Amino acid sequence: MSRIYNFSAGPSTLPLPVLEQVQAELLDWQGTGMSVMEMSHRSGVYEGIIRETEKNLRTLIGIPESYALLFLQGGATQQFSQIPLAFLSQGGYADYIITGEWGLKARAAAELVGRVNTPWDGETTGYNRLPVDFVSDRFAAYTHFTSNETIHGVQFPGDPPAAGNWICDMSSDICSRPLDVTKYALIYAGAQKNIGPAGLTLVIVRRDFLDQMPASLPPYLDYRLQADSGSLYHTPPTFAIYVTGLVVKHLMQLGGLEAVQKLNRQKAAVVYQALDGDFYRGHARPSARSVMNVTFTLPTEALTQQFVKESTAAGLDGLKGHRSVGGIRASLYNAMTLDGAEALAHFMREFASRNR
């Protein structure tokens, strides 16, 4: 077996001990004689798996009982539409703070449903910065932002300073650092970057915020129905929930989100140090830099292509930047090791010294 360092932006690398456990349990989960993939979601055994995953995620993140934790499908992309249908379709307006491509997509979906304002937009400088403060309007039905813009590599340093009707897309930094859930009305995230495989979408929502929803919505889109049925209104992504449960236990064993954040900061510092200098150019301003996705360009397109080719050959995969920004993007999610970050930094220095 030979595993590479996988810097893909998502789906992305998973912790090796988790993959090994999945492999060991694949054919016979704990003496049941079947794979988790083959279990009825209505069985007592599976009920145990999903409830344990919920309990551990609540402990890891610190989710109080006043918030529902939902295991859904459809990715963050479905949430882009489900959120405005639930909280905007009856009138009023919502604010969308735009710090990059994913915020733009979320706003475009909301505009199909209701009235939307943009209190801040980083477009003029190519989405490389953040607003000075969190901008909120207490009359808005909600204010939406993207804690980490995966494509541009721009990340808010933490939670909003005060509680409010904040809705946050945390797809690319959920569980990468401690989080104060009580500041938010709703948090959503696809699992496939920091906590599991693709197919599972987490929604954490303040129960009293759900009172604003219209009485009738298509059943799948009704958060209340999902909350009341413990995410078992229909067949949930059973295997993705099981693997996410293992990743969550793994993060708890590492020491919880404070320890995870410390390691993530260390990895990012190693790569940003290799980036700073006269050869590479970071996309994000230093004050807005993401700990999760390091984005940068090289002096020419030919050198960028050469970097991608040579890094792949050296066992460093998934570094090609998103087509809308170009250049290179190194994703350093939870499961990327410090060794991986150091290997990348070493390659970057060596590549720069050969090609300057």
Nearest to 191 by CA among 237, 230, 231: 237
CB-based contact 172:292 (threshold 8 Å): yes
Output the six-digit token pair for 11.
């789906």
> In this structure, are strands 67-72 and 201-206 parallel, antiparallel, or unpaired?
antiparallel
Asked if 199 interacts with ligand PLP (CB under 6 A), we say no
Output the six-digit token pair for 65.
């009982």
| The one-letter amino acid at 329 | R
Number of residues that bind ligand PLP (CB under 6 A): 11
Residue 192 beta carbon to ligand PLP: minimum distance, rounded to whole angstroms: 6
CB closest to ligand PLP, residue no:
75
Interface of this chain with ligand PLP, residues 306 to 345, rule: CB under 6 A: none
Residue 113 beta carbon to ligand PLP: minimum distance, rounded to whole angstroms: 17
Shorter beta-carbon distance to ligand PLP: residue 189 or 227: 189
| The one-letter amino acid at 145 | F
Shorter beta-carbon distance to ligand PLP: residue 195 or 345: 195
Question: 171, 176, 295, 304: which one contacts ligand PLP (CB under 6 A)?
Answer: 171
DSSP string for residues in 27-49 = SSSTTSSS-GGGS-TTSHHHHHH
Nearest to 152 by CA among 109, 104, 191: 104
Which x/- pattern over 89-128 shows residues binding ligand PLP (rule: CB under 6 A)? -------------x--------------------------
Q: How remote is the C-alpha of 93 from its chain's centroid? A: 26
Question: 61, 76, 168, 205: which one contacts ligand PLP (CB under 6 A)?
Answer: 76
Residue 48 beta carbon to ligand PLP: minimum distance, rounded to whole angstroms: 27
Shorter beta-carbon distance to ligand PLP: residue 152 or 298: 152
Residue 151 beta carbon to ligand PLP: minimum distance, rounded to whole angstroms: 7
Catalytic residues, by residue number, are: 102, 169, 193
Task: Encode 281-315: b = buried (16+ Cβ within 10 Å), e = exposed.
Answer: ebbbeeebbbbbbbbbbbeeeebbeebbeebeebe
